[in-house]
Each structure stands twice: as C-alpha cells, then as structure tokens.
Amino acid sequence: MKKTIMAMSVIGGLSALALQASAESADMMQLAEQKQCMTCHALDHDMPKAPSFTSIAKKYPDSALEVLAGKVRNGGEGHWGAAPMPSAGARVDVTDEESRQLVAWILNMRQDGKQ
C-alpha cells in the first residue's frame, strides 16, 4: 500500500515536470517566432536557408552554449554551408539573456544525450 502511494506520487511529480517543460518550450517557441528565428530555422528539418535546431543540438555539446549564444547575437557562417547567419542589426534584436535562453532551448532538443 505504502509503495503504491509512493509510486503514484512519483508519477504525479513527473507529469507536473513534463507539463512545466512543455509550457516553457511553448514560451521559447513564441520567443523564437517573435525574434524571427523561425523564418530561417525549422525545429526538426534542415531548410535550404539554415540548419534545423535539432541538427544544431546534435552537432554541439551543452558546453557550447556561450559560443552559440554569441553567434545568435553576432551572427556566424561557414559551419553548415554557404549561407551566413545574419549579424545583429540585420535581424530583430536579441539580448544576451534571450540568446542564452534560446540556445539552451535549442541544445535541449538533442535526443541522444551527447555531452
């Protein structure tokens, strides 16, 4: 009986976490759309314009967060193909904090748990 109650509360706790995670990821999706990231990037398929966020997540470890956040702010090129990621000024402004949040969200799309 005690075990059943414990198992139930564990399951309850997990689904609360899952709900929270999906609420956060919906917020991040909204931010990405607002910052127009989604005009070039898709979540899970590479587009001619830019790599998908899932591909980016697979290519980089979590420790690349700061480097990638810098690229979100300042642009970058030559890692995927000919098209450059446009620099700040050519796009909607993204703050330091927003770029870190966006990159953390992108890196979280990695499925294989590479570190």
Residues that bind ligand HEC (CB under 6 A): 35-37, 39-41, 49-51, 56, 68, 71-72, 76-81, 83-86, 91, 94, 102-103, 106
Instruction: Give me the least distance between CB of 106 and ligand HEC, in Å please.
Output: 6
Identify which of residues 7 and 92 has a Cβ nearer to ligand HEC in the complex.
92
Identify which of residues 10 and 77 has a Cβ nearer to ligand HEC in the complex.
77
Kindly provide the b/e burial profile for residues 57-83, where b requires at least 16 CB atoms within 10 angstroms of the residue's own CB. beebeeeebeebbebbbeebeeeeeee
Identify which of residues 15 and 30 has a Cβ nearer to ligand HEC in the complex.
30
Q: Which residue has the tokens 């109650």?
A: 5
| Measured distance CA(77)–CA(83) in Å, rounded | 7
Identify which of residues 5 and 112 has a Cβ nearer to ligand HEC in the complex.
112
Return the structure tokens found at 102: 């966006």
Phi, psi values for residue 59, rounded to 5°: -80, -35
Instruction: Give me the least distance between CB of 80 and ligand HEC, in Å please.
Output: 4
